Every structure is written in C-alpha cells, then in structure tokens.
C-alpha cells in the first residue's frame, strides 16, 4: 500500500506535536507548574498516537481520529493559554487559535481529498 507523501508528513507532525505537548507538561518546568494540564496532555497525546497510526496505515477511520485529535488539540491550546493565577491580566487567545485552526483546516481538506 503506497502512502502519499502529504499523509506521511501529517502523521509525523501529529506524532511530534503530541510528544511535544506531553513533554511541555512534564518537561523542564516540572509537573507542579502544569499540574492541571497534565491529564489534558495525556488525552491529546493518546489521541495523537491513534490518529498518527491510523493515518500511517490509511485506516478507514483516519479522518475521524484526525478530526477528534484536532478538537482536543485546540481545547488544550485554549486551556494552556488561560491565566493560572490572576484573572486581571488579558489573555490573547485569538491569534494562536486562528493560526492553529487554519493549519488544521488545510490538513483536513487535504486528508479528506486523499483518504
């Protein structure tokens, strides 16, 4: 079974992004700094592994797992950007969500056409 190059790249990027999310919560800052995000990072990482495996092997449910991973990744992005201590400081959520959403939408349109 021959995989298109774009599908391979997207699968590798999902895998790398999932590991980066997990490393970001338990990495050098320590688990105490991101204790509330730890469970969300576990869920995003597991869904990322499932989505990457489904894309790598071109499973019939690959697009569904990619879409589920995308929603969870956006939710994790919002949770990670919320202020931890004080609610008096403004939070800039629009730009990161916009750019991540555009990248995920472009990947989803490509995957929908290929798979």
The Cα 13–Cα 73 span in angstroms is 13
User: Whole-angstrom Cα distance, residue 2 to residue 23?
Assistant: 32
**pLDDT in the model for residue 85:** 65
Residue pair 44/21 in contact (Cβ under 8 Å)? The answer is yes
pLDDT of residue 86: 62
d(CA 105, CA 85): 33
- What is the rounded average pLDDT for all residues in the chain? 87
> 20-48: per-residue pLDDT in tens?
888 888 866 655 556 678 888 999 999 99
What is the spatial distance between Cα 45 and Cα 21, in angstroms, rounded to a whole number? 7
pLDDT in tens, 45-97: 999 999 999 999 999 999 999 999 999 999 998 888 877 666 666 677 888 89
Q: How many domains are contained in the chain?
A: 1
Q: Which domain holds residue 41?
A: 5-114
pLDDT of 34 reads 64
pLDDT of 94 reads 86
Q: What is the pLDDT of residue 99?
A: 93
Integer CA distances (angstroms), 34 to 18, 75, 88, 100, 111, in order: 16, 15, 20, 21, 33
Only one residue has tokens 């931890």, namely 84
The predicted model scores a pTM of 0.86
Q: Report the alpha-carbon distance of residue 99 to residue 92 in Å, rounded.
A: 13
Percent of the chain with pLDDT over 70: 85
> Measuring CA to CA, which residue among 103, 54, 53 is closest to residue 77?
103
């Amino acid at each position: 079974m021959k995989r298109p190059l774009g599908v391979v790249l997207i699968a590798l990027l999902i895998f790398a992004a999932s590991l980066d999310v997990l490393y970001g919560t338990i990495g050098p800052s320590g688990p105490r700094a991101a204790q509330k995000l730890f469970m969300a990072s576990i869920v995003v990482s597991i869904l990322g592994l499932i989505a990457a495996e489904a894309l790598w092997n071109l499973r019939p449910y690959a697009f569904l797992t990619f879409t589920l991973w995308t929603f969870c990744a956006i939710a994790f992005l919002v949770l990670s950007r919320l202020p931890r201590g004080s609610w008096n400081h403004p939070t800039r959520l629009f730009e990161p969500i916009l750019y991540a959403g555009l990248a995920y939408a472009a990947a989803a349109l490509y995957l929908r056409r290929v798979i």
